[in-house]
Structures are given as C-alpha cells and as structure tokens.
Amino acid sequence: MAKIHTLYREQIIPTDIERAWEFISAPANLDIITPPDMSFDIITDVPDKMYNGLLIEYRVGIPFMGKQRWLTELKHIRENHSFVDEQRIGPYKLWYHYHEITEVDDGVRFVDRVNYVLPFGPFGGLAHPILVKPQLKKIFTFRCKAMEEHLRE
C-alpha cells in the first residue's frame, strides 16, 4: 500500500483577510509564488478569480523528471476562508492541497496542508526523504517568503 505523506505549513502575515483572499484566489499569482528554477508555465487561460471546478493546466520542471504536465482542479471554495487544489493529471499518484486563511491578532494566518502519494511504488518511497521532501520544503519556503513580500502591509 502506498504511503500518504503530509506537508503542513503555517505562517502569519500582517495583512487583512480581503487582501489575502484577493491574492490567493487569483490563479495567475501561482506563478509569483513558485520558485523560478522550476520552469513553471501556466498553459490555461486563467480567469482573474478562481471558481469551483476550475481546471488549470501547467507545466512544471521537476528534478530528474524534466518538464511535467500538471492539471489541477480548484474546489471546495469558501470565500475568504479556504479552498482545495487537487491534481487530476501530474507527477503524483495523489496531490490534495488544502489552503486556509483566518484572521488573527497579528494579521492573517495562512495554512497549507498537502496530502500526497508518490508514484513508482517502493522507488518513490526511497526518493521521498532524499529528493521529494527536500524539494517540497524548498518550494514552500520560497512560497512563504514570496507571499510575505506581496502581502505585507
């Protein structure tokens, strides 16, 4: 049975909930919060604001795998609170990314919880600690810094 891994990140940015939602609900902003060395390209013409059922196709550079096609569906959208992006086609067997924002005393708390399963059976399991987990840590560290830069009041 494939192991389900979880990545959890939380950060507080001194901003307001409306500005935070405006930023995370604009699909084009995914480009801003993705590290440049990932060769990230959004293929789909995306709207200014996401909606339930929106499918977004992009290409992303993954170490040792090259450019990969990724199709994600945005769903379970709760205005000014949360949404999910779920991989439909892509490099993972499962990718379910829950995003949540809540107002706190110091600004807005951003929560990312990703449940994911790697492909390639036991080989994916071997690659997780040496390739996948460090790469995801790097991506989400970049994302935290980029969001802080764009949203800090």
Tens digits of residue pLDDT in 107-142 = 999 999 999 999 977 777 777 888 889 999 999 999
- Domain ranges in the chain? 5-151
Residue 152 is predicted with a pLDDT of 80
- pLDDT of 43 higher than 80: yes
Distance, CA of 109 to CA of 14 (rounded, Å): 9
What letter would DSSP give residue 48?
Answer: S
**pLDDT of amino acid 113:** 98
| pLDDT for 44 | 92
pLDDT at 122: 74
pTM above 0.85, yes or no: yes
Write phi, then psi, for 88 (nearest 5 degrees): -100, -40
Which residues have C-beta within 8 Å of that of residue 115, sequence separation ≥ 6? 4, 5, 6, 94, 95, 96
Q: What is the pLDDT of residue 126?
A: 77
Average confidence (pLDDT) over 49-70: 88
Fold of 5-151: Alpha-D-Glucose-1,6-Bisphosphate; Chain A, domain 4 (3.30.530)
Coil, strand or helix at 47: coil
For residue range 19-40, list pLDDT tens digits in order: 999 999 999 999 999 998 888 8
Q: Is the dihedral of CA 81, 148, 143, 29 positive or negative?
A: positive
Tens-digit pLDDT profile for residues 84-108: 999 999 999 999 999 999 999 999 9
| CA–CA distance, 124 with 93 (Å, rounded to integer) | 10
Amino acid 9: pLDDT: 97
pLDDT value of residue 153:
59
* Contacts by residues 115-123 (CB-CB < 8 Å, ≥ 24 positions apart): 115/4, 115/5, 115/6, 116/4, 116/5, 116/6, 116/7, 116/92, 117/2, 117/3, 117/4, 117/5, 117/92, 117/93, 118/2, 118/3, 118/5, 118/92, 118/93, 119/91, 119/92, 119/93, 121/2
